[in-house]
Amino acid sequence: GLLRITGGGVAGQPGVVDGQYVIRRHPNFRLFLAQNPSQDPRYAGTRNAFSVSLLSHFVPVIVPGSGAKELREICEKKLAAGGYPKWRQAADALLETYERTQQLVEQSKSKHPSTIRDLLQAVSLLVAAHEDPRLRAVLGIRCIFRQKLHDREHQKEVEDL
């Protein structure tokens, strides 16, 4: 048994051969089944519920979301490791933008919440812009968060952050 993952998302991953990420089956392999939470109103209308018979083959593991303190620590460490000056202030500003975007997403009833991935992309943009001053990191960061909102009023508010 092999699992082959192809496409642009595999570039730079260990184990990539000829553009394919190959994972060999481990003798103790266990299947993972992921599902968005049913209580979250952002997913309620689009979530496909798995049948009880299917779920009986799995052990449920609930992963709580990261808190503000954990997110701040992650941002600070990544910015500091990337050599970004004033990494504490930058982490605070990014988290403020991230949290405000989350609030705007909830107000606008968008089905596209900001994710930790968005926050990490913003951190990467800041580090890259520090290394190459020609990059317009602020514009990129605004785009990352603004794309989650569909109405112009909320998009404008993210631009003003």
Is this structure's pTM higher than 0.75?
Answer: no
Given a contact cutoff of 8 angstroms between Cβ atoms, the answer to whether 123 and 73 are in contact is no
The helix (run of H) or strand (run of E) holding residue 5 is strand 2-6
Give the pLDDT band (50/70/90) at residue 14: low
pLDDT tens-digit series, residues 114-129: 778 888 888 888 888 7
- Give me 68's structure tokens: 């503000």
Q: Where are the domains of the chain?
A: 2-55, 68-160
Highest mean pLDDT among 39-48, 60-69, 87-96, 136-145 belongs to 87-96
3-state helix, strand, coil in the chain (%, to 5): 50, 5, 40
Burial (Cβ within 10 Å: 0-12, 13-18, ≥19) of residue 1: exposed
Tell me the percentage of the chain whose pLDDT exceeds 70. Answer: 50
Q: Please report the pLDDT score of residue 53 as a whole number.
A: 84
| Half-sphere CA count of 141, side-chain side, radius 13 A | 27
Residue found by looking up tokens 């496409």 in the block? 7
pLDDT of residue 2: 46
